Amino acid sequence: MPVETDPIIARVHKTIPASAARVFEAWTEPEQLGRWAWGADRKAWARVDLRVGGRYVVGLPVEPGSDGWEGDVWAMTGHYVEIVPARRLIYTVRWDAPVVYNQAGEPVLDEIIDVRFEDVANGCTIEHAHIGIPLVEAAREHLRAVDQTLDVLAQLVTGD
């Protein structure tokens, strides 16, 4: 898996053995998104308004106070900036969860996710760019997490 890290962008390139249309569907359909977006063995849920300017939220129920975070749900939220079915998806992400750089009481900034899907002979290549990460250490953690969640996505779309 070729990866690239700098202080503001984390990129993951991965091929999944399914069509771009199938992968895009799993990325944008709420029930499917909830099944993979927080990784394996999670009870996440999602709401999606798939249109430019539409909002999404993916929530994960947790024990109150988990990792020092107030509340009983960790969430990632944002809005869609560009939607090209089975080709490209650009959306913002704001963390309401304990990531390295947004601890309770500190400013929470929007980041950008730019995902490109391309059909290839053995499935779909995903180019995932996470833009606007403020710390190198956090970018490395995002790389690890994205790689793992894309493995869960692959399992979902291939039925494994």
pLDDT in tens, 101-112: 666 556 667 899
Q: In angstroms, rounded to a whole number, what is the distance separating the alpha carbons of residues 150 and 122? A: 16
Confidence of residue 81 (pLDDT cuts 50, 70, 90): very high
- List CB contacts of 106: < 8 A, sequence separation 6 or more: none
When pLDDT is cut at 50, 70 and 90, the band that residue 7 belongs to is: very low
Amino acid at 55: R
Q: H or E element: which one contains 146?
A: helix 136-158
**CATH number of the domain residue 99 falls in:** 3.30.530.20
Beta bridge partners of 82: 90
pLDDT digits (tens, 9 = 90+) for 48-80: 999 999 999 999 998 887 777 777 888 899 999
The residues that bridge with 91 in the sheet, in sequence order, are: 80, 113
- Domain extent, residue 55, equals 3-158
Number of domain units in the chain: 1
